[in-house]
Amino acid sequence: MTDRPADDPVVITGIGTLLPGTGSAAEFWQHVSNGRSQIGALTRFDGPAEGLPVHAAAEIRDFDHTARLPGLDPSHARKYSREILIAMSALVQARDDAGLGQGDVDPRRLSVIFSSSRGPLSWWQPVLRGEDPTAYDDKGAMFRGLPGTPASLAAIHTGAQGLVTTVSNACVGGHQAIGLALRELRAGSSDAVLVGGHEFPILPEVAHCYRALGNGVLSTESEDPSRAVRPYSADREGFALGEGSVVLCLERESTALRRGARVYARVLAHASMNEADHPTTMDLTGKVTAGLVVEALEEAGRRPDEVGYFCAHGTATRYNDLAESRALRALYPDRGLGALPPISSNKPIYGHTFGLAGIINAASTALMLHHQRLAPTINLTTPDPECDHDHVAEGARDTSFDLAVSMSFAFGSQTSVLAMGAAA
């Protein structure tokens, strides 16, 4: 093992999750691997009253930060929003899960990189609607209104003095945050990076934006909220909104092993591109995405034939489903549908979390590599004929694999892939 940062594998040593019905990495793994949907009846707003036929969402209920942030001064906490406190709690959980204590990393070499597609909309909504005339009456208003504040305040709380920043690039932002963390660690600029995302889009304003795109984007019809999201299914109807925060602790492998840390998985490579094509539709030939997968795998020194699993973006929208299935067919042109590698989506569990989605996928994939078990795509009973391949639809599957690829797509003609490997 060399000590040169560029040749030292980057690994995930900690996972912090605060999601609907989920307060730890162990609960996250149980829900994802066992296919337990956390999407329920929408309560955050009255859909019909807002002119919206929206009935399902993955909501965090009854969050209390006090047990998760015991060292936070109550006078400070009162100035923070729920979004900030949840993101801070996820970061502390990831740090603790990694066993990263005071003195383990020079504070100047501990960084925080977050992703969020929209920032603090939940705070701005009542302000802009005129429902909270006192919103600007304390100094905390400056905190609550900035998209980068969760990362900054989490860094202050944990003593991180390295690079602290927030990426905002729709659904590929989570992948890109991990890509930035890889560069920091490989360049030797940081010794540990707490990289994560936060998203709180369960608002009528956000729902109206997606409804404006037409039918089949935002789920509106299913009577059972837990079955509202059905990727690759002939009866798909779109996604449900989800919220929360997930944070990963990334380190160079030599650093982690020296301090006896548990390693979930390796992060091998990240590749991201702007297709410079249609702003709301990803490549539907599959060839562009397939090429990007090859690019990431080549950086990792691996080949497509070695991939044992694909973690899908899996939004249950027609274009996304077709784009992913066609990407696999382009990547493996000599294989029939039945011989394509397994692929699954966690969107039926936690909904669509936009800037957080890539982080959820990375956490899910890391745990699958760690446990050598594939998580299923639930709610899939009648596959779309073009997507009739292996979605692990029968339930969790024990297996043996050491290479996985996560795919992510976003408005703005953005495509991103992340290659991950099993721990040594």
pLDDT tens digits, 136-192? 777 777 778 889 999 999 999 999 999 999 999 999 999 999 999 999 999 999 999
User: Is pLDDT at 2 greater than 50 in this prediction?
Assistant: no
Tell which residue, 83, 50, 36, has the closest CA to residue 353. 83
Burial 331-362 (b: 16+ CB within 10 A, else e): bbeeeebeebbbbbbbbbbbbbbbbbbbbbbb
**Tokens 């044992």 belong to residue:** 308
**Domain 5-265 sits in CATH 3.40.47.10:** yes
Phi, psi of 209 (to 5 degrees): -60, -45
Contact indicator for 332, 294 with CB cutoff of 8 Å: no
Q: Please confirm, yes or no, whether 249 is among the known catalytic residues.
A: no
pLDDT at 221: 78
pLDDT at 277: 83
Q: Please confirm, yes or no, whether 209 is among the known catalytic residues.
A: no
Catalytic residue among 313, 387, 389, 391: 313
pLDDT at 47: 92
pLDDT tens digits, 219-269? 987 789 999 999 999 999 999 999 999 999 999 999 999 999 999 999 999
User: Is pLDDT at 366 greater than 50 in this prediction?
Assistant: yes
Span 302-311, average pLDDT = 98
pLDDT at 82: 93
Contact indicator for 217, 48 with CB cutoff of 8 Å: no
pLDDT at 1: 34
Question: How much of the chain, in percent, has pLDDT values that exceed 70?
Answer: 99
User: Is pLDDT at 391 greater than 90 in this prediction?
Assistant: yes
Q: Which helix (H) or strand (E) holds 12?
A: strand 10-18
Architecture of the domain spanning 269-422: 3-Layer(aba) Sandwich (3.40)
Q: Please confirm, yes or no, whether 171 is among the known catalytic residues.
A: yes
Q: CB-based contacts of 49: which residues, under 8 Å, 6+ apart?
A: none
**Tokens 């990547």 belong to residue:** 331
Catalytic residue among 65, 157, 171, 391: 171
Q: Residue 380: exposed, middle, or buried by beta-carbon count in 10 A (0-12, 13-18, 19+)?
A: buried
Question: How many C-beta neighbours within 10 Å does residue 73 have?
Answer: 9
pLDDT confidence tier of residue 6, bands split at 50, 70 and 90: low
What value, to the nearest 5°, has the Cα angle with vertex 212 and ends 346 and 407? 30
pTM score, whole prediction: 0.96
Two tokens, residue 219: 């789920």
pLDDT at 223: 82
Contact indicator for 357, 326 with CB cutoff of 8 Å: no
Span 18-29, average pLDDT = 98
Contact indicator for 166, 147 with CB cutoff of 8 Å: yes
In the chain, CATH 3.40.47.10 covers 5-265, 269-422
pLDDT tens digits, 310-361? 999 999 999 999 999 999 999 999 999 999 999 999 999 999 999 999 999 9
User: Is pLDDT at 123 greater than 60 in this prediction?
Assistant: yes
Residue 375 is given by DSSP the state P
Two tokens, residue 275: 């297709």
User: Is pLDDT at 60 greater than 80 in this prediction?
Assistant: yes
Catalytic residue among 55, 157, 175, 352: 352
